[in-house]
Structure 1
Amino acid sequence: MTLFTDGSPDANPYRLPRDVLPSRYDIVIEPDIAEARFVGGVVISATVQAPVDSIMLNAADLECPRATLRQNGSSVDAEVTFDAETERMALRPADGRRLEPGELQISCTFAGELNDQLRGFYRSTFVDEDGEVHTIATTQFESTNARRAFPCFDEPDFKAVFGVTMTVPADLMAVSCSEVVSSEILADGRRRDTFADTMEMSTYLMAFIVGDLEATVPVDVGGVPLRIVHVRGRSALTGFGLEAGAFALAWLVDYYGIPYPGTKVDLIAVPDFAFGAMENMGAITFRETLLLADPDKATTAELLRIVDVVAHELAHMWFGNLVTMDWWNGIWLKEAFATFMQVATTDAFRPEWKRWDEFSIERGAAFDVDALSTTRPVEYEVVSPADAEGMYDVLTYEKGAAVVRMLEQYLGPDRFAAGVQHYLERHSYANTTTTDLWDALETSSGEPVRSVMDGWIFTRGYPIVSVEPYGAGLTLSQHRFVYGSAGPKSKPSGDASGSAKVAGPTAESTGGIWSVPVMVRARLTDGRTVTERLLLSDASAYIDLGGPVEWAIVNSGGHGYYRVRYSAELLTAVARQALEVLEPIERYGLVDDTYAAVVAGDASAADFIALVTDLGSETDLHVWQRMIWGLKGLHAIAEPAGREALAVLIRDLATTALGVLGFEPQPGEPDLERELRGVLFEAAGGRGRDELVRARARELFEEAVGNSAAVEPNLAAAVVQVTAAAGDETDYEQMLELYRSADTPQSELRYLQSLLLFEDRELFERTLELFASEVRTQNAPYLLGAAMTHLDHGPLAWAFIRDRWDELTDRFPQNSISRMVGGIRGLRTRELAAEVEAFFAEHEVPQGALTIAQHIEKMWVNVRLGEREGALIGQAAQSPDS
């Protein structure tokens, strides 16, 4: 990774000088929704730190016809010049005077377009129950898009107070970060709403929304009014979101020990939204599917996701809004912690959902990227706005949250929470760096947090801890876990039996030492069970457990951000007793680590299949999800005969488990059992192609279409998938109509995704066209990416994206392009992989260059996995115990 500057504002051409510091913005804005335009004015109160000849602000895609500067009672017009590359605007006194240290008032008028790129000040549309199209004007400013709505000092450490006045049509609702303090009807019939001042905050947290909206009656949460704002006609879908929001706000106030820093909370459902949600201070915006729901129709996973996202954004009100990173290289400071807090909050909201166990799945996505040679540290230098956009990935969110969770478990929850409170109290309304957080946690815990954590944050990758029995304990050793080199390798040669020869560890995999908080639980040969804690900070260490070991689980509790490789003796012992002696999260780790070893070439597909077969009596949802995803991954790379054999194994495992669980939901059944039934049903009828399950799916589908309450939601979602996988053109037309007429955001997305599962080529081509034209741009890129993972038609989807690249990248939000490209990981032939790599050598994605490199590397990893294991999977599936 090349670093372009020393990180200081003076050395970075994209950063503003520090000679003028803003303290207040008074913004007047008038959106013209019909003409997709807006005009406005801003007065910025600032302080000049040293004599200057000009002032530099940020502005992009704006017209600024007039600007004035006022100092010491004297005003002067300013000459305005723009630098499109750095998105900066210079104001120079027209009379050539120099601005002296002291107070300064900057006034600008401005105008711009309400764009369709889901950033800055943009348009969102919805269709009401009468078929009429309505347009909303809304904002998305993170990371560097406030400058597209008004001239400003658009960097996180330029904190200021914001006063907002909006002039809007009288029949529309206006929302901003604070409450309305005055409202008047103007002579032309429009309404002018003035909002209370905000707290001191960064520009990216500002928001204003106007449209045909309505709000729920506020819920009082410890004196803070909380409500949901939504498009007209969707009030029936707000109850669950309000319940989740009220719980999360109260729980977070208690955890942080600091009152909510704003005056109100609006949770705002926006029909078109490029992100999942955005923590604008007091005016949090969401995708509709992540806020509005009917609990009687939504799956457990869909409801959990709503609680997660609501909690995540509310956690930001303190960690991010009250205390803000100094610069965008510190995005992880707020996003990783908010991800950690969302899981903790959801776990408190519904303990029976076992949210920390499910986090293992999300951590696994970070593991997958972080095992690549093209991975990056959690924190690295950010120079340009494109660099900042590229940081919104699983390493910032999931890896960051995983190492925070590991630290919390190592320090203890109480000491960790005390450190967080100390950090927030000390730095309220200010900006911080990673060092400030470590200082606070060291003060609260007395532990050397910085020396432990810096390696996890500033070093790319993660370790694998190897475990061997030795004397009266274990020897542990660590080295970096990697999948292999980034580019194509020659196809592995085979021996006389056809087994692929796997190369040993790469040079890179033998390096890297972390301070690894290791939790060990072991059964000794004398029958005692012991637990120990060790900070593994060297390449290897011995841990005395007081006697010879029968079996051991390293990463006890499953919260460490590292993989584990057991000796053959220990692995056999622990796998044989896994269902009896391991917690579900530990069994998940065993399955996940084994599959990763297969991908890396350190284990065979047969090893994974044998482990899954041994765990066939598993009853935990999350372990089953990992087993099935692993089997599906092998199914995708298997040669045709092997694919069929593995389908039989998936069918047998899933139907046997369904027989134990029961095909029909029971009254009072735990939520996770209902979700497990859906997972098993989909596996049996999808990849398993079980005809009885497919027939039952069709019966249930017809029942659900006639009466949506007739089928339990988790099973109903699986029924849609199975019916689509076995469906014909008539089924396709019905699914398409159900998508277009869906009465909840979750149902709309469910039917839309089902169109990807049809096997007929012509129907698949119709789906690609639908995604490129009709589907909202917030969803289409992700769906096109998923299309490339289709077992039979992935190459067709790639050709579609390749041939229409310019059209698609012009239409879709820029931050979604790298996510669309993620689907190339599902392309499985060497020829296609070479074509894809050559294509992206000529087609740059500035906001996701590093992410694209990661996708390309993982594509090659999967190609090599198929070449190594594809011909062997059938034999392994037929003889899983061999």
Structure 2
Amino acid sequence: MTLLTDGSPNANPYRLPRDVRPDRYDIVIEPDLDAARFVGEVHIEATVHAPIDSVTLNAAELECSDVMLSQGGTTSGAEISFDPETERMTLRPADGRRLEPGNLRISCTFAGELNDQLRGFYRSTFVDEAGEAHTIATTQFESTNARRAFPCFDEPDFKAVFGVTMIVPADLMAVSCGEVVSSEILADGRRRDTFADTMQMSTYLMAFIVGDLEATEPIDVGGVPLRIVHVRGKSALTGFGLEAGAFALAWLVDYYGIGYPGTKVDLIAVPDFAFGAMENMGAITFRETLLLADPQKATTAELLRIVDVVAHELAHMWFGNLVTMDWWNGIWLKEAFATFMQVATTDAFRPEWKRWDEFSIERGAAFDVDALSTTRPVEYEVVSPADAEGMYDVLTYEKGAAVVRMLEQYLGPDRFAAGVHNYLERHSHANTTTTDLWDALETSSGEPVRTVMDGWIFTGGYPIVSVEPHPSGLTLSQHRFVYGTARSGADAAGPGGPGAGGQGSAVWSVPVMVRARLADGRTVTERLLLSDAAANVDLGGTVEWAVVNAGGHGYYRVRYSAGLLAAVARQALEVLEPIERYGLVDDTYAAVVAGDASAAEFIGLVTDLGSETDLHVWQRTIGGLKGLHAIAEPDGREALSVLIRDLATTALGVLGFEPQPGEPDLDRELRGVLFEAAGGRGRDELVRARARAIFENATDSSDAVEPNLAAAAVQVVAAAGDETDYGRMLELYRSADTPQSELRYLQSLLLFEDAALFKRTLELFAAEVRTQNAPYLLGAAMTHLDHGPAAWAFIRDRWDELTDRFPQNSISRMAGGIRGLHTRELAGEVDAFFAEHEVPQGALTLAQHIEKMWVNVRLREREGARIGQDPAAPAS
């Protein structure tokens, strides 16, 4: 349903009236873990701003009763009416009196179910080392699910102070946003824990958790106690997360120039969690795999991800919690900045990980969506809760962070940081809109930030900057980069032209960094703002080679003229930084998908870069070759397998097959990437034999195996595995001693080529695997080279069952696997299916998945038969 509004809350049926605002909540909640129920009471101190006949607040999936309204010494009951569609509860004084401006106290008792949908107040389970099952009650309120735990004014600009009391079994631990200030044993043997008041904050940041948990001893970080809370028996896995958390908290305080706004930090590992983590104020919840780890067994990528997520959530304590977006259309204001800050923090934590180079991969995922006609602006109108859920995607996070990084590099880090400090300081404990941020950055930098940035935030898509030589330098021109929208028949015209490279009408203010070598031997740099469709850049002479988007941080693609491309590619390993070479490879592959370059051009480029030593360039190279391998005809697949094998084994020979003491972490990760490529798509028999030896040693011996190589060996063994290997992987998944190992072995089950084993995997995902993981794994199953269609048929036939079982916000992510389907017949079937099956919390995301599926159909039809042909031979 699309509702047109005039932009004001009163015009939106999902918004609450603004005539009553909460000031304080006192919540008492009693979870019954055995019965999967909870009861509670809430007392809300509010302010009435105009005479009213009723009070409207949010409540969903709750039984509410005993409502009392107190004002001016008079207390009366209330008539309750519910609107399930808008999840609103209206209270009318039973005595018919009007409520006047001034203080108002709202009291209510409530009851609800501890649900299994991983939202609101829900249950999570785990089995301890003795085989005993335990239940935890925990919360996930963002975006609009606090209303499922207690009646409240569940919108981000209704900030208030929260006081929480929990009544729980005496042998269980309770955690909330504040520290425990009193604890007493009641006559019935339960324990009553009262927590310190929170700062003034939004409902979505409240949390309460109870279960068989334990906590590490707190670490003092500048006067703030920080600890990790986890299920019993996993204390040995907390050290790395504590180290990351302590570093991030101290670094962020220094960067922001503002003290931590809470009184304590609990990082809480939850066995079942729909998202990666959630920035509840002072009680941050995480998936176990993103907080608990054994550094001796985890890969570099797994450890980096933990630092990232810990830093992301702590960054929210300021960006999101202290200063909060006014309404859900501004989600990017917190999520993009938290993503930007996580990369900056991780880069400071381990500079040798080259985290900003790694971010290029994540930015590429945003590029991929943003090249579709079904893309959206970073910020757009949000009407309903389902609209808000649809905002949690790569455009909010990765595109938002990418344009923020581009702005930071253009303004300079010091001026940018000063603007961030001014923004946070000026708006502490308040709500903001995008223009408030631009104003702060304009004040600190003196640059026209709003003029530059509005196009990036309020317009979908991005430009491709074309580069041509000019007698005194370069000619730059921009147009929108799009893949095209045709679903059947010949390619239809995209915006401004046929195929994907057609010129769109949008023009951005593009911060362009240029580095060029002139014919006279000088190397020059230039910074400019490309605000028109085209411009000449005077560099002082004829250009020998040039890199546009120098530094690699711009959110745009670059397409060089044939001569400039050949010149820069020829010298890329000598004159380009790794992040710039990454951009060259990524932009070329995107041009292939768009129909602006051939697969042969991409293959030629990466073959010329065969002496590459950088992890991230290799990851993009192998990713591109695997993408072409997936859509190639049998002969082309074989040719690409040979190429992947040759490139990867040659690079392994230079790097060395065996890890060396003291070598860089990224070299170890690169070895794993190359090893998996050679033994997987490359099907190298020597690598496969070596992988089996590594796998057996890692699982049957106490000898330590380097984690990146051990993880790669698991993938290679699975790709060539039989039923015995499958049984071993399944056993290792079920008995894994770390969250990372559990997920690693679970994912390996997707790689087996035997059709019967693959079907077993699908059944396992549907029935046994935790619902936090299963939808994503089923989506990934559709990308299997041989069995993707079978995975689609499984999901199609079991759709009702799966969508009933899985959290609703995960359904569009499960459907994302359709991007791996690339035959016209199958795409037509998928299209027809989703025309009759809605995905309410991800309608736009689903439309993007469908469009990208058709983009891949056209890529296969255009390039599939040409891959592996002799370039000199005529096309068939």
State the match for 1:76 in structure 2.
76
Give the aligned CA root-mean-square deviation in angstroms.
1.3
Are 2:743 and 1:746 aligned? no
State the match for 1:872 in structure 2.
866
Are 2:637 and 1:643 aligned? yes
**Does the 8 Å CA contact 2:500/2:595 hold for their aligned counterparts?**
no
In the TM superposition, 1:422-501 aligns within 5 A as: 422-490=422-490
From 617, 624, 631, give the equivalent of 1:630.
Answer: 624
User: 1:510 Cα shift?
Assistant: 3.1
**Does the 8 Å CA contact 1:374/1:486 hold for their aligned counterparts?**
no
From 811, 821, 830, give the equivalent of 1:827.
Answer: 821
Distance 1:101 1:686 in 2: 70
In the TM superposition, 1:257-268 aligns within 5 A as: 257-268=257-268
In the TM superposition, 1:542-557 aligns within 5 A as: 542-557=536-551
Distance 1:65 1:442 in 2: 51
In the TM superposition, 1:92-103 aligns within 5 A as: 92-103=92-103
Are 2:818 and 1:844 aligned? no
User: 1:508 Cα shift?
Assistant: 6.2
Number of aligned residues: 870
In the TM superposition, 1:512-523 aligns within 5 A as: 512-523=506-517
User: 1:706 Cα shift?
Assistant: 1.5
Distance 2:501 2:301 in 1: 41
Distance 1:614 1:466 in 2: 22
**Does the 8 Å CA contact 1:273/1:778 hold for their aligned counterparts?**
yes
Are 2:709 and 1:715 aligned? yes
> The residue matched to 2:428 in structure 1 has which SS?
coil
Distance 2:3 2:600 in 1: 43
User: 1:487 Cα shift?
Assistant: 2.5
**Does the 8 Å CA contact 1:343/1:359 hold for their aligned counterparts?**
yes
| Letter paired with 1:394 | V
**Does the 8 Å CA contact 1:181/1:194 hold for their aligned counterparts?**
yes
State the match for 1:319 in structure 2.
319
**Does the 8 Å CA contact 2:497/2:503 hold for their aligned counterparts?**
no
| Letter paired with 1:768 | L
**Does the 8 Å CA contact 1:214/1:232 hold for their aligned counterparts?**
yes
**Does the 8 Å CA contact 1:649/1:877 hold for their aligned counterparts?**
no
| Letter paired with 2:350 | R
| Letter paired with 2:105 | Q
**Does the 8 Å CA contact 2:175/2:209 hold for their aligned counterparts?**
yes
User: 1:752 Cα shift?
Assistant: 0.0
Aligned CA distance change for structure 1 residues 306 and 248 (closer, same or farther; 3 Å): same
User: 1:6 Cα shift?
Assistant: 2.0
**Does the 8 Å CA contact 2:483/2:499 hold for their aligned counterparts?**
no
CA offsets per residue over residues 795-846 of structure 1, 9 Å max, x none?
Answer: 0000000000000001001110000000000011100000000000000001
Are 2:120 and 1:120 aligned? yes
**Does the 8 Å CA contact 1:655/1:680 hold for their aligned counterparts?**
yes
> The residue matched to 1:521 in structure 2 has which SS?
strand
Question: Where does the alignment leave 5 or more consecutive residues of structure 1 unmatched?
Answer: 493-501
Q: TM-score, normalised on structure 2?
A: 0.98
Distance 1:258 1:569 in 2: 51
Distance 1:860 1:326 in 2: 37
Are 2:252 and 1:252 aligned? yes
**Does the 8 Å CA contact 2:499/2:595 hold for their aligned counterparts?**
no
**Does the 8 Å CA contact 2:491/2:499 hold for their aligned counterparts?**
no
State the match for 2:781 in structure 1.
787
Distance 1:479 1:828 in 2: 28
**Does the 8 Å CA contact 2:156/2:326 hold for their aligned counterparts?**
yes
Distance 1:255 1:697 in 2: 44
In the TM superposition, 1:388-399 aligns within 5 A as: 388-399=388-399
Distance 2:702 2:96 in 1: 71
State the match for 1:495 in structure 2.
none
Aligned CA distance change for structure 1 residues 524 and 791 (closer, same or farther; 3 Å): same
Are 2:714 and 1:724 aligned? no
**Does the 8 Å CA contact 1:605/1:876 hold for their aligned counterparts?**
no
State the match for 1:499 in structure 2.
none
Question: Where does the alignment leave 5 or more consecutive residues of structure 2 unmatched?
Answer: none
Distance 1:486 1:284 in 2: 44
From 562, 570, 573, give the equivalent of 1:568.
Answer: 562
User: 1:859 Cα shift?
Assistant: 0.1
| Letter paired with 2:618 | W
**Does the 8 Å CA contact 2:481/2:501 hold for their aligned counterparts?**
no
| Letter paired with 1:266 | D
State the match for 1:357 in structure 2.
357
User: 1:402 Cα shift?
Assistant: 0.1
**Does the 8 Å CA contact 1:522/1:549 hold for their aligned counterparts?**
yes
User: 1:541 Cα shift?
Assistant: 0.4
**Does the 8 Å CA contact 2:501/2:594 hold for their aligned counterparts?**
no
**Does the 8 Å CA contact 1:7/1:383 hold for their aligned counterparts?**
no
**Does the 8 Å CA contact 1:144/1:204 hold for their aligned counterparts?**
yes
Moved more, 834-843 or 483-492: 483-492
Percent identical among aligned pairs is 87
CA offsets per residue over residues 431-457 of structure 1, 9 Å max, x none?
Answer: 000000000000000000000000000
State the match for 1:409 in structure 2.
409
State the match for 1:63 in structure 2.
63
State the match for 1:734 in structure 2.
728
From 577, 592, 605, give the equivalent of 1:583.
Answer: 577
> The residue matched to 1:31 in structure 2 has which SS?
strand
Aligned CA distance change for structure 1 residues 79 and 723 (closer, same or farther; 3 Å): same
Distance 1:697 1:793 in 2: 24
Are 2:854 and 1:854 aligned? no
CA offsets per residue over residues 599-657 of structure 1, 9 Å max, x none?
Answer: 00000000000000000000000000000000000000000111011100000000000
Distance 2:702 2:157 in 1: 50
State the match for 1:497 in structure 2.
none
| Letter paired with 1:598 | V
Moved more, 507-516 or 1-10: 1-10
**Does the 8 Å CA contact 1:491/1:867 hold for their aligned counterparts?**
no
Distance 1:877 1:651 in 2: 21
Distance 1:486 1:384 in 2: 30
**Does the 8 Å CA contact 1:403/1:560 hold for their aligned counterparts?**
yes
Q: Highest relative contact order (Cα 8 Å, sep 6+), 1 or 2?
A: 1
Distance 2:872 2:683 in 1: 17
In the TM superposition, 1:19-30 aligns within 5 A as: 19-30=19-30
In the TM superposition, 1:286-301 aligns within 5 A as: 286-301=286-301
User: 1:4 Cα shift?
Assistant: 1.8
Distance 2:71 2:368 in 1: 56
**Does the 8 Å CA contact 2:552/2:583 hold for their aligned counterparts?**
yes
| Letter paired with 1:720 | V
| Letter paired with 1:818 | S
User: 1:489 Cα shift?
Assistant: 3.5
> The residue matched to 1:418 in structure 2 has which SS?
helix
> The residue matched to 1:510 in structure 2 has which SS?
coil
State the match for 2:796 in structure 1.
802
State the match for 1:524 in structure 2.
518
User: 1:491 Cα shift?
Assistant: 7.3
State the match for 2:383 in structure 1.
383
Distance 2:872 2:234 in 1: 52
From 791, 805, 814, give the equivalent of 1:811.
Answer: 805
| Letter paired with 1:331 | I
Aligned CA distance change for structure 1 residues 820 and 47 (closer, same or farther; 3 Å): same
User: 1:182 Cα shift?
Assistant: 0.1
| Letter paired with 1:397 | Y
**Does the 8 Å CA contact 1:645/1:878 hold for their aligned counterparts?**
no
User: 1:488 Cα shift?
Assistant: 2.7
| Letter paired with 1:191 | R
User: 1:133 Cα shift?
Assistant: 0.4
**Does the 8 Å CA contact 2:58/2:153 hold for their aligned counterparts?**
yes
Aligned CA distance change for structure 1 residues 14 and 536 (closer, same or farther; 3 Å): same
State the match for 2:224 in structure 1.
224
CA offsets per residue over residues 101-154 of structure 1, 9 Å max, x none?
Answer: 110000000000000000000000000000000000000000000000000000
Are 2:128 and 1:134 aligned? no
**Does the 8 Å CA contact 2:177/2:283 hold for their aligned counterparts?**
yes
Distance 2:564 2:553 in 1: 20
> The residue matched to 1:589 in structure 2 has which SS?
helix
Distance 2:283 2:497 in 1: 54
